[in-house]
Structure 1
């Protein structure tokens, strides 16, 4: 029989998961606290788990490390990611591509215009990839073919050994970081960012 557990909470002492439309912990199937002859439903389990997590958090910790998964740096709304409050790495890569494709770039602060390499040119030249675009949509970065963070690591290493067009390479690198800085600069809005709420919850004495 296939074990199709969907884990919802894991700790050193317990685990909660959903399997075959039933909620379980290490002791077995969870039954409703209202009617013990019935399995616990979605709403009751949600409240049950909230109480468990609150009980764990409502204590004093000497040190706290928060691991945030992919998407933790962006804010979503009904239409998807709200780009006013952050962008994914894939979105930043597309911004870099669009801004450099003409071979000219104007820095945001001093408006200085410089010659730069297009993103796909750089990717090929440094040996990162010969094809960074979607097969079906020309000029749209394919996130499975191109990762901006990995590309930048390769680019910085490559620059150490450049003997030709050194200024253009340097301007291209600076342009990329200028774009990233501009695209990740936004005003703090407490209605959308819940950092304070998280910190207050975790810092209870």
Structure 2
């Protein structure tokens, strides 16, 4: 999903830009840039960005300035880790903005809610699952990918709703009659998308997924 900058006061845009710049700075400090020095890994990273851009062009307008599309941020975070997922999502959002699918004033609010928030939640869920659940292939796929994909899409949708209401961009009645009415139809495709992608990748290309290791999740299980 993405916001248009026209939905928010200019002061909000500046606050969002400051928060987004801080998150990018933290991501740049923590990112495993050495991984991208490997030609194969850098190709996977750039290929993932292109795939996300294509997916984000397939969108449905909900209200003027507010559009919905599948995210895939859970998959990006599981594949590359929080820091590189932030950059991958930011590059994808940059691509769709350059293509004219969103305005520049909406870049920072969209990045905070639809990139930084799902990436952070994915990393938190991954840490909790590693700490409290068995390290098993099916636990990884169903909890970290399928369940997390659906749950995070709902949390992000609720956060977007709260932000729009706080900014007085739309009334609760208007959002209830459009966006919230179709919310149950949105989280299941997101769950299926992330579960399907991760089950394929950890099965055939586990070296593409930084959060998955055969030694931990498959051997001896």
More relative contact order, 1 or 2 (CA 8 Å, 6+ apart) = 2
Higher share of residues assigned helix: 2
TM-score, length of structure 1 as denominator length: 0.32
| Greater strand share, structure number | 1
> Of the two, which has the highest radius of gyration?
1
- Which TM-score applies when normalising by structure 2? 0.30
